[in-house]
Structure 1
Amino acid sequence: MRFVSFLTSFLLLATVLLSTGAHAQTAPTARPEAQQQKPAPAAPVAPAAQAKPGVPLAIEHAGADAVGGSLAYKLKDLAGRSSLFQLSTADEKRIKLMVRTMEEFRDRPNEASVYSVVWVYSENESTLKYFLDVESGLVFAGTADEKAQALLSKTQELASRYGYLFE
């Protein structure tokens, strides 16, 4: 029953993301008062202070379960230490991993979690997000490291396949 609830929540999230993006293309992007308040341009950054090379990546996690939280933490940790990715919260071109987790069974809260990961490409926060891929499954307490590595490997494959979007 919890899995059906999880699946329903996931499909609702995907529908909202896709419909919000369609609305963003047809609606004006900013209100007139918001257009008047433009921030001052940022000062140029010295080459030594520029961010490390790599694909800009944002990881968002929703869920309060221990195993799922561990998976999200390990994803962020591995991505932060990798030379292939640059963790980013800036409003820029990036790949976003939207991770949602919940306990597999309430009676066994720290053994396994059901997870869903949606990969999207984001030009910026005010434009349509482009769906890249989705994966769902189970992660166990002892396999969170391996699952995080597998998810980041898939992220790198997607970044290579859709690399032209960053040009």
Structure 2
Amino acid sequence: MKKSLGFILVLICILSLGSFAAAEETKAVPNVKAKPTPAEKVEQADDKSGVPVIVVHSGDDVLGGTLALKLKENFRKSVLFNLAGNNSKAVRVRIESRSEFKDRPEIGSVYSVVWTFAESEDVVPFYLKQELGISTSRSVETDASGLMNETDKIASEYKYLFE
């Protein structure tokens, strides 16, 4: 019995030493002196196809600025639109906003949105549509969504301008 127990212990030791030696052989040591090869630069092609849009805001009120930022954020997330640069053919959404009440600017903002189309920043834009509205802190999200929906309607109506 002692011989078989001893034999089993020796067999276990030999097997564990063999697996330890195999693990040491497969472990690769990096060459510290060799310079790493730079990763290939992958150019990010703008695969996002959609209506190119530029949002421009002017005004000094917080809610109007928030409305413009929410609208840009919605355009950026959407697959229907693509935020474009100033020198590209795009629908331009110009938002002009002011505080509804000068003494209490947190109550609301009055805004005017004008949609135009231009080949670039240097070209006189074509007037497409305009809209007036009042935005409050509670309605900024829905107002931005409504303006985005209106932009989609306008873009589909004037899609021949992009051809």
The TM-score with structure 1 as length reference comes to 0.70
2:126 corresponds to: 130
1:97 aligns with 2:58: no
Amino acid in structure 1 at the alignment position of 2:123: T
Distance in 1, Cα, partners of 2:122 & 2:98? 29
Q: Which has the higher contact order (CA 8 A, sep 6+)?
A: 1
Paired position in structure 2 for 1:148? 144
1:55 partner amino acid: V
Q: CA 1:65–1:48 in 2, change beyond 3 Å: closer, same or farther?
A: closer
| Change in CA separation of 1:68 and 1:90 when aligned onto 2, cut-off 3 Å | closer
Residue 90 of structure 1 deviates from its aligned partner by 4.0
Identity of aligned pairs, percent?
A: 39
The CA distance in 2 between the partners of 1:125 and 1:74, in whole Å, is: 23
Richer in helix (by share): 1
What CA deviation, in whole Å up to 9, does each residue of 1:139-164 have, x standing for no partner? 11100000000000000000000001
Q: Please state if 1:161 is matched with 2:163.
A: no
How many residues of Structure 1 are paired with residues of Structure 2 in the alignment?
122
Name the aligned partner's letter for residue 117 of structure 2.
Answer: Y
Compare CA radii of gyration and give the structure with the larger one: 2
Instruction: State the 4+ residue runs in structure 1 displaced beyond 2 angstroms.
Output: none
Q: Runs of 5+ in structure 2 lacking a partner?
A: 1-41
Of stretches 46-55 and 86-95 in structure 1, the one that deviates more from structure 2 is: 46-55
Root-mean-square deviation (CA, aligned residues, Å) is 1.6
TM-score by length of 2: 0.71
